[in-house]
A = this chain, B = another copy of it.
């Protein structure tokens, strides 16, 4: 578990090369969610891992753990790893550029031509190596990732993500209409055939990475394709990720494309691709109808709330407090390159900021998100898509990141919540000095 950075910066750290299945403890100032309203703080505490599973947090090392290896991170903060519920790997290179477009124009002029490059496996490997390295270096320990429609490139992405040690769902994208020839599958038949080929090659192949069905969004998928994806879903017991109600023009377009559906959500729901026995993430959900909200609650469809993307693409601000109050599962997504930062920690601050503007400008009945609520979404909220992930409660996967704030000189002491808050708003990869996924250390 030793971390060279931690050792050099934190005198007294006992490094070791333990296995994920042996018990060990991390010591430091520990913060984690127990619910949206409960952000627990244990100063100078111990969080204990056995066989990759968290055994809980203790102010003193309990008797039964005396003698286990302990990595002392001293004054650093130890928090659960972040879950990114929505990120597009092929869009990573051009994040933070061409920021003057709305969704549909951005797809056509920037994203589709860029994604078409991934038909070239060499390019895909070069680009995805950069992406995987960034994911490894960041605070994300679980991610739901869009690839492109290309089978080979998506397998390269899965290989590279497996090497990072991060838990990931990765999707080969399905798209058989409304995009240029260079980035459109020839027919629903070929889309399904390629998807089956991809699934045969990847289901069960990895330790950390699994395939997820990924119809791009309704405008990109014919009814027939959606119907046949649902057949594949049942056959392979697959989760699903897609987009829902991000942008007003997009919603209007879906209305025209699917006049017989009862709204955008129903274009997935009518094929059984909308939660229930089929764990599903819908990114954005900026403009849901009351019917869609009720149905997402019923079917426990996850919302991937992507605040920065929703600003960058002029989409709007999702009423995420409403979803939390309804009991709809909500996590955060970076939506790179709709959003520009690949850090979910950064999205915590953005989610809070956007919720303030929504409160001020749109609807004063929905109060701004609290730090506790937004931190919960980034960890336990999104983590739930992966099972017991995103907390230090006993029984959760042992995913932890260790943050130092020694590079923020201060004229007076901060309490742990203020330290966490400042790291969320001002921190970057330099602040990350330790990272563990299912108890296994990820070398930074």
B317 touches A361 (CB 8 A): yes
A100-B314 contact in complex given A411-B123, A411-B127, C-beta closer than 8 Å: no
A311 an interface residue at 8 Å Cβ cutoff? Answer: yes
Of the candidates B96, B100, B370, B418, the one whose C-beta lies within 8 Å of that of A425 is B96
B412 touches A93 (CB 8 A): yes
Residue of B nearest to A421 (CB): B97
A424 an interface residue at 8 Å Cβ cutoff? Answer: yes
> Digit string of A417-441 for contact with B (CB within 8 Å is 1, else 0)?
0100110111010000000000000
A325 to chain B, nearest CB (A): 18
A101 to chain B, nearest CB (A): 10
Of the candidates B341, B357, B362, the one whose C-beta lies within 8 Å of that of A311 is B357
* A interface bracket (residues with beta carbon within 8 Å of B): 35 or more
* In the bound complex, CA of A96 to CA of B352 (Å): 12
A100 touches B368 (CB 8 A): yes
Of the candidates B133, B316, B411, B425, the one whose C-beta lies within 8 Å of that of A130 is B411
Copies in the complex: 2
A357-B317 contact in complex given A93-B412, A99-B421, A368-B100, C-beta closer than 8 Å: yes
A386 an interface residue at 8 Å Cβ cutoff? Answer: no
| A219-250 residues at the B interface, CB under 8 angstroms | none
Give me 20 other A-B pairs in contact (C-beta within 8 A), A99-B421, A314-B360, A315-B360 excluded. A93-B411, A94-B422, A95-B426, A97-B414, A97-B422, A98-B418, A100-B368, A130-B409, A130-B410, A133-B409, A311-B354, A311-B356, A311-B357, A312-B353, A312-B356, A314-B356, A317-B361, A341-B426, A354-B357, A357-B357
